[in-house]
A and B are shown apart, each in its own frame.
Chain A
Amino acid sequence: MAARRKRSNSAASKAQSEFVPEAEEILERMRDDLGLLAETVDGDLNPETINGLFRSAHSLKGLSGMFGQEAMSELAHHLEDLLDRLRMGRAVLDRAGLALFDESVTMAATALEKIGDESEAAALAEGIADLIGRIEAWNAAPRAEAVPVVPELDVPPALLRALTEYEEHRLSDNLERGRGIYVIDADFEIASFEEGLHEIQSAIREVGEVLSTLPSPGGSLESHIRFSLLTATELDKGALVGRLDLADNAIQVARAPLGTAKTEASAPQGASASHDDGQTEAKAAAARAEPEIAEPGTLKSISDTVRVDIRKLDELMNLVGELAIQRSAVQQIASKLAMDPATHRIGTDLAKVHKTLERKLQELQSGVLEVRMVPLRQVFDKLTRVARRLRLDLEKEARLEIEGADTELDKLIVEELIDPLMHVIRNAFDHAIEPADEREAAGKPREGLIQIVASQRGNDVLITVSDDGRGIDAEKVRARAVEAGLVTAESDLTRSETLDLVFHPGLSTRDEVTETSGRGVGMDVVRSNIGALGGLVDISSEVGQGTTLTITLPITLAIIQALLVRVGEHRFAIPLNSIRETLLVEDSDLQRTDGRQLMNLRGEALPLCRLADEFDLDTPETGKSYAVVLGVGDARLGLLVDHLDGQQDTVIKPIQGPIASVRGIAGATEMGDKGAVLVLDVSALVEDVVRKGEVS
C-alpha cells in the first residue's frame, strides 16, 4: 500500500495514472482471450479470438510507446508480430506458444505493478528481454508451413482478386476443413445499408464465418446498393437459405460442404459456438495449461482509479449548490443571534462554526470540480490523427503543432469541443494552406503550419488555431455577403465586422465545395457549438499571411461567475465571462442617432440598450444608470441597468419545458432566500440588438 501511495505522488504520476488503468484493461482482455484459446489450442482456433488478441497487442504497443514504456512496447510489438503470423496462417499455435503468451501477459502485469520503481527496473528489463528472446526462438522454430491452396471455385474472379492476404488465408483454411463456401448477394437501401449489412453479417456468424464483404455492381434499383458476402459454413445451401431468410437465387454455391453436410437442426457451428463454450470452461482450461504459469502475487488490480458517470458528478454538484444555500441561511441566523444582546455569545460562536463550514464547502466544491477536469490532450490527440489523415488525403504539405495540451477543462466541454475543432482543422488544411508550389512562389516555406495553442486565463481557457495559409479576403467575403443579401453594398462595415460574416449561416468563400470540409456545416456551426458551451469565437486574418481563430471557453459549465444586476425590482444574472467592463453613465452621456442609442466609449461609439426596454419592463427612468459592456466576438453592447448587486458563483439551470422559453434568457439560478434569478443569454441579446441596428 505504501508503495502505491508513493507512486501516485511521484512526478510522473499524472501520465502513469492515465497509462496504468488503460494498460490494465488491455491485459485483462488479453487474459480472457487467452483463456478461450487455451480451450481450443488443439482444435479449431477461433479467428475472432486471434484477431482480438492481435488488436489488444497492437493497442498495448501504441499505448506503452506513447508513455515511454520502451520495454513493454517492445514486448507488445513481438506479440503483435507473432499474432499476425498466426492469423495469417503462417504459424501454428502449440502449447509452448500459448505458454509464451501467458507468460508475456503476466510479465506485462508485473511490469505495470512495479512501474516507477527504479530498483526493480533493471531486473524487469532483463526479464522482458529474455522473454522476447524466447518468443523469437519459438517464432523461428521450423514448422510445417501451411500451404494455402485455393482450388477452382465458382466465385467471380473479381471477388477473389479483392481478397486480402488474411481473407485468402481464412478461405483456404475453411476449404481445408471441408466447409461449404457460398457467395451471398444482398441488396440494401443506400440510406440504411449499414444496419441491414450488420444484420445479415451477424446472422451468418451464428452459423459460420463471413470471409469477405464487398460492394458489387448489379443492384436492382438506383436507390439500392448490393453487397457480395463470401461465406463459409458447414450448412448446406438449403439450410443456409432458410437460416438467412433470403431468396434462393441470392446464394451461389462456390463449393458445397464436404462429407455430411449439417442440416439446420444440428448445433450451430463456428464463431459464436466455440466462444460460448470457451467462456464457461476457460478457467478449467487455464488450470490445465502447461507449463503452469505463476500468477502475480495478488489478483487485486493495481490502479486505484474508478470511472464515474459524469451525471453522478452533476448530482454531487447540485447537492453542493443546495448545501451552499443552507449555509447562507445559517449565516443569517448567526448574524440575527449576534445582534440580540441576549444571544450575542451563541451568535458569534455560530458565526465561527459557519466560517469553517463555508471554507469546507468551498473545498468540497472545488474538489468536485477538479474531478470533472480533464486535459485538452484528449482532444488534441484526436486532432493530430485527423491532421495526419488529411495530410495524406489532400496531399497537402502541412504540419500541426500543438502547445498547452495539459490545459484542463470540464470533461463535458472537452467532449463538445472535438467536432468544432475538427471542422476548423479541416478548413485550415482544405482551404487555408496553399499547395506547396504556390507557397514557394509566394516566398513561404513549402510546408504549411497549423498551430493550436491552449492556455488558461483566469476562469477562461483560450484556444487559438492559427495557420500561415492564404488568409481570408475580406473583399470576397463582403461580395458574397452582398450577393447573398446579408448586407447591402453600401453597408459601412469595419474589417473585423466583415470577417465576422464568415460565421453567418450559408456563407462560404470558396466556390467549389470539397469533400473534407463538407457542405452545409460551416463556421456558423462552429460558432453556435462554441456558443452553446458559453464560449466565444473571434477571427482575424491577413491576406497572404494566414488566419487566426480565437476560442474563449469557461473552464467549467457547472459553476459560473455571474454579475447580479437590478432593473426596477427585477433582478438578473449576467455571466461574468461575457462582461468586458461596467460603467456609471449619466443621461447626459447618452446620444441618439437614427433611433439607436449610443455613447462615446474612449472615442468609439458603443451601442446601448436598456434592459427594461428589451424586456418591456415597467420601470421608472432614474436618470443615472450603469452600463454593463457585453462582448460577443468583436460585437460590443452596453446594457443599461439600474443597479449592480455584485458577483456570485451560480449554477445555471435551464427552464423546464418549451412553454417558458424566452429569447434572451438562458435559464435561472437559485439565490438562497431570494428565489430564482433569471440568467441572461448574452449572445442572443447582443445579436438581436446589433441586428436591429443594422436594419434601421
Chain B
Amino acid sequence: MAASSAQNTNDVTVELACFGVNDQTYGVDVLQIREIVRWQEVTPLPMAPALIEGVIDLRANVVPVVDLGRVLGGEAIEETTEARIAVLEVDDMVFGLRVAVAVDVLSVDASQVDEPPALATQSGYDAVRAVVRRPGEAPVMVLSIEQLLETVYRSAKPASGFAEERV
C-alpha cells in the first residue's frame, strides 16, 4: 500500500469533490470546480454532440451541460432534490456536469492513490485516471475532465437533432 504507485498526484495532498452517480463515487479535483448549483431545466441544443444535454443560463453566462451518467456509458441522471450541476472550468472551457448527488470534499494524499484497474473494459473507464482507496468504504474514481471532454467531442451527432429527453 505504501509503495503503491501514485499517478498524477505525487506526494502532495489533493482535494477531491466527490459525486455519486449510478451507485459509484467519482472525484474531481476541486481546483477545476467553479461552483455547484441546484438542478435546473436544461434547454436542449440541436445539432450538438450527442453527449451535450443542452445549455443552462448561469447568470452572465450560458454554459453547455454534460450528464455524468451518460458520459460514463450509463443511464442519464434523474431529477431529484439531491441532483446537482457542478460547473467546471478547464482550459478556459466552462461547462456543467450533471451529477446525482454531491457527497463531500475529500483530502487524499499520494499513499491512497492507485492506478485505475487494468481491466478497463467497462465503458467510460478511460475517463478514470486514478482510484482512491478508502478503508471500509467504496473507492473513489478520480476523473480526468480532459478525457471526459474528449469523449463528449467524439460522441456522434444524434439521429434526432436533440438528445433524447430523459426526465
Contact = CB atoms under 8 A, between A and B. Distances in A.
Contacts of A659: 49, 52, 64, 93, 95, 149, 152-153
Nearest to B91: A657
A675 interface: yes
B94 A670 contact: no
Nearest to A613: B161
B46 interface: yes
B33 interface: no
B57 A322 contact: no
B46 A318 contact: no
Contact of B93 (A658, A667, A678): A658
Interface string B48-76: 11001001110111111000000000000
Interface string A653-678: 11111111011110111100001111
A616 B160 contact: yes
Contacts of A675: 40-43, 56-57
A653 B61 contact: yes
Main secondary structure of the interface of A (DSSP, over half): mixed
Given A617-B46, A659-B149, A653 B60 contact: yes
B61 A656 contact: yes
A654 B55 CA distance: 11
Interface in A281-335: 315, 318, 322
A615 B161 contact: yes
A345 interface: no
B46 to A, nearest CB: 4
Interface residues on A, range: 20 to 34
B130 to A, nearest CB: 24
Counting chain A CB atoms within 10 Å of each CB, which of B61, B153, B159 scores highest?
B61
A570 interface: yes
Interface in B68-107: 92-95
Contacts of A668: 43, 55, 57, 62
A152 interface: no
A570 B49 CA distance: 18
Contacts of B160: 616-618
B162 A617 contact: yes
Contacts of B95: 656-657, 659-660
A660 B61 CA distance: 13
A79 B93 CA distance: 56
B47 A662 contact: yes
A677 B43 contact: yes
Residue of A618, A656, A658, A678 most packed against chain B (CB within 10 A): A656
A656 B59 contact: no
Contacts of A677: 43
A676 B64 CA distance: 11
Given A618-B160, A676-B56, A660 B43 contact: no
The residue among B45, B46, B60 with the most chain A CB atoms within 10 A of its own CB is: B46
A318 B47 CA distance: 28
A659 B161 CA distance: 16
Nearest to A617: B161
A615 B63 CA distance: 20
Contacts of B45: 655, 660, 662, 665, 678
B116 interface: no
Contact of B64 (A315, A657, A669, A670): A657
B164 to A, nearest CB: 9
Interface string A52-86: 00000000000000000000000000000000000
Contacts of A318: 59-60
Nearest to B66: A659
A499 B146 CA distance: 47
Interface string A607-638: 00000000111100000000000000000000
Contacts of B40: 675
Contacts of B56: 675-676
B44 interface: yes
Interface in B1-54: 40-49, 52
B51 to A, nearest CB: 9
A676 to B, nearest CB: 4
Nearest to B164: A618
Contacts of B61: 653, 656
A668 B58 CA distance: 11
Counting chain A CB atoms within 10 Å of each CB, the highest count among B42, B57, B93, B160 belongs to B57
Contact of A656 (B42, B48, B94): B94
Nearest to B53: A660
A625 B60 CA distance: 34
Contacts of A322: 59
Contacts of B52: 659-660
A630 to B, nearest CB: 18
A668 B59 CA distance: 12
A662 B57 contact: no
B63 A657 contact: yes
A616 B60 contact: no
Nearest to A665: B45
Contacts of A617: 46, 160-162
B117 to A, nearest CB: 29
Nearest to B87: A656
A655 B55 contact: yes
* Residue from the set A322, A659, A675, A677 with the largest chain B CB neighbour count within 10 Å: A659
Contact of B161 (A616, A653, A654, A676): A616
A654 B62 contact: yes
A656 B63 contact: yes
Nearest to B160: A618
A659 B59 CA distance: 20
A413 to B, nearest CB: 20
Contacts of B44: 570
Given A656-B63, A660-B55, A615 B46 contact: yes
A563 B160 CA distance: 25
A616 B153 CA distance: 19
A662 B52 CA distance: 11
Contacts of B57: 653, 668-670, 675-676
Contacts of A655: 45, 55, 62-64
Nearest to B94: A656
A665 B52 CA distance: 15
| 6 closest cross-chain pairs (CB), A and B | A616-B161, A660-B64, A615-B46, A676-B57, A657-B93, A668-B62
Given A676-B43, A678-B55, 16 more contacts: A615-B161, A617-B161, A653-B61, A654-B62, A655-B55, A656-B63, A656-B93, A656-B95, A657-B95, A659-B149, A659-B152, A664-B47, A665-B46, A665-B47, A668-B57, A675-B40
Interface of A: 315, 318, 322, 570, 615-618, 653-660, 662-665, 667-670, 675-678
15 contacts: A615-B161, A617-B46, A617-B160, A653-B62, A659-B52, A659-B64, A659-B153, A660-B45, A664-B46, A675-B57, A676-B43, A676-B57, A677-B43, A678-B43, A678-B46
